[in-house]
Structure 1
Amino acid sequence: MQLENQARLRFREGLEAERDSRFKASSLTGLATLTRLASEAAPITVVLVEGISDQSAVTTLLERHSTSQQLAESLVLSMGGATNIGHFFRLLGPAGLDLRLAGLFDRAEAGFFQRALGLTTTAQKGPETSPAALPALPEITGTTALTALTEHGFFACQDDLEAELIRALGAARVLQLIEREGDLRSWLSFRNQPAQRERPEAKQLQRFMGTTSGRKEHYAVVLSEALAEPIIPQPLRALLDFL
């Protein structure tokens, strides 16, 4: 298990380096390195999420609610934003390293994920096809689009992951956690700001967690740790079941 964890860690570091442009996976050296690291880490499912707080939350949930096999064979990766999904599908999906993929996304960003899936599928039709040369795909919307993404292992949060966690726990429980973490005074000051007074409490809490550097990531872990099995939000439950 220790060797598997080390291999997975090296692969994560390689993906993060590629994401942060420390080397380019489009170059022969970069792609060869990632291919080798992926082989050493196999079998593995890469769980693609939008940001670092999402990565923290999903990793925490996996550690607390998945089987040991699921945990050993899953790697959660922040893409640095939903707009990067196309790049990671080309790199990691059937046209690239051919790894098993899954993920979470904000419902408002579904179009980026839909187009990425379409590009990946179309790109398999011929080795000479480049993403720029691919034909435009018709947009599918609403339930149809979300169902199509779900079938590929990608699950939509109604607003974003923080909102899902707050809704699952309830505002009263979240406030208890804020007090426990020593942030009650900051919260009371924040909610009395003129721009916040008329907003629903759940929206205030969601905004509060993004007001200070590091707070969003911190509470992603705190809220995820507080989730009991029966109240895990549906998209997270679906992701765990898929893995």
Structure 2
Amino acid sequence: MQATTVLVEGESDRLAVESLARRCGHDLIAEQITVVPMGGATSIVRFLDRYGPRGANHRLLGLCDEGESWGIARALERAGLGSGPLDELGFHVCRADLEDELIRCLGVDAVLDVIDAQGELASFRLLQRQPSQRGQPVPAQLRRFFGGRSGNKIRYAPLLVAALPTGHAPDPLARLVEGFARES
């Protein structure tokens, strides 16, 4: 069985991918699947060199933000992994970022329930009253809440995945995890 390396931009993405994979019944260790945070999409060349055809020759999958997709596509082509739509190469694209996808998939009320369950709804309401946040759509405020405090993305990623109804996940994340079963 060929090892699979899943390249993601950051630690919160890793936690979300691993959480959904477990919920879908994957045993990542037994299936030789490792989810690797790159510390940002611009680091992909180093990871392609390490895990790609010129390195360990793992099967590569990934998840990236739309704003990084052009650079990812170019790096995959240069590494000899082909060209074409990223999803055909096993890399799936989130519109803004994974938190945006999770917010849209869950809906604002469900996300607020997760925040409330963590005892941080008052903190979110305080953020909403800040001059820079007044008038912003609630999904944008939620993204700011997750990205604005150190560790919030990492803390909330698995909680948001856990809140997803069974069989209901953001498309890029769901397609990525479905791809684990192919040729693994």
- Give TM-score, length-normalised by structure 1: 0.70
Please state whether the residue corresponding to 1:210 is helix, strand or coil: helix
Indicate conservation of the 8 Å contact 2:64/2:97, yes or no: yes
Q: CA deviation at 1:71?
A: 6.3
Within the candidate set 51, 57, 61, 1:102 is matched to 61
- Partner of 1:236 in structure 2? 173
- Partner of 1:129 in structure 2? none
Cα distance 1:161–1:71, how it changes in 2: closer, same or farther (>3 A)?
A: farther
Instruction: Name the CA distance, whole Å, in 2 between partners of 1:176 and 1:148.
Output: 36
Q: CA deviation at 1:241?
A: 1.4
- Partner of 1:26 in structure 2? none
Instruction: Name the CA distance, whole Å, in 2 between partners of 1:53 and 1:199.
Output: 24
The answer to which structure has the higher helix fraction is 1
- Partner of 1:8 in structure 2? none
Q: CA deviation at 1:217?
A: 0.5
Please state whether the residue corresponding to 1:67 is helix, strand or coil: coil
In the TM superposition, what whole-angstrom CA distance separates every residue of 1:8-53 from its partner, at most 9, and x where no partner exists?
A: xxxxxxxxxxxxxxxxxxxxxxxxxxxxxxxxxx642111000111
Please state whether the residue corresponding to 1:72 is helix, strand or coil: coil
1:72 aligned partner, one-letter code:
E
Instruction: Name the CA distance, whole Å, in 2 between partners of 1:207 and 1:64.
Output: 27
Indicate conservation of the 8 Å contact 1:63/1:71, yes or no: no
Q: CA deviation at 1:177?
A: 0.9
- Partner of 2:123 in structure 1? 186
Q: CA deviation at 1:240?
A: 1.3
Q: CA deviation at 1:173?
A: 0.6
Indicate conservation of the 8 Å contact 1:107/1:160, yes or no: yes
Instruction: Name the CA distance, whole Å, in 1 between partners of 2:29 and 2:72.
Output: 24
Matches within 5 A, 1:150-229: 150-229=87-166
**Could you say which structure has the larger radius of gyration?**
1
Indicate conservation of the 8 Å contact 1:90/1:96, yes or no: yes
**Gaps spanning 5+ residues in structure 1: where?**
1-41, 123-144
Instruction: Name the CA distance, whole Å, in 2 between partners of 1:65 and 1:170.
Output: 21
Instruction: Name the CA distance, whole Å, in 2 between partners of 1:229 and 1:103.
Output: 22
Cα distance 1:71–1:51, how it changes in 2: closer, same or farther (>3 A)?
A: farther
Please state whether the residue corresponding to 1:229 is helix, strand or coil: coil
Aligned-pair RMSD on alpha carbons? 1.9
- Give TM-score, length-normalised by structure 2: 0.91
Instruction: Name the CA distance, whole Å, in 1 between partners of 2:139 and 2:30.
Output: 31
2:102 aligned partner, one-letter code:
L
Q: CA deviation at 1:89?
A: 1.0
Instruction: Name the CA distance, whole Å, in 1 between partners of 2:104 and 2:25.
Output: 22
Task: Tell me how many residue pairs correspond in the alignment.
Answer: 180
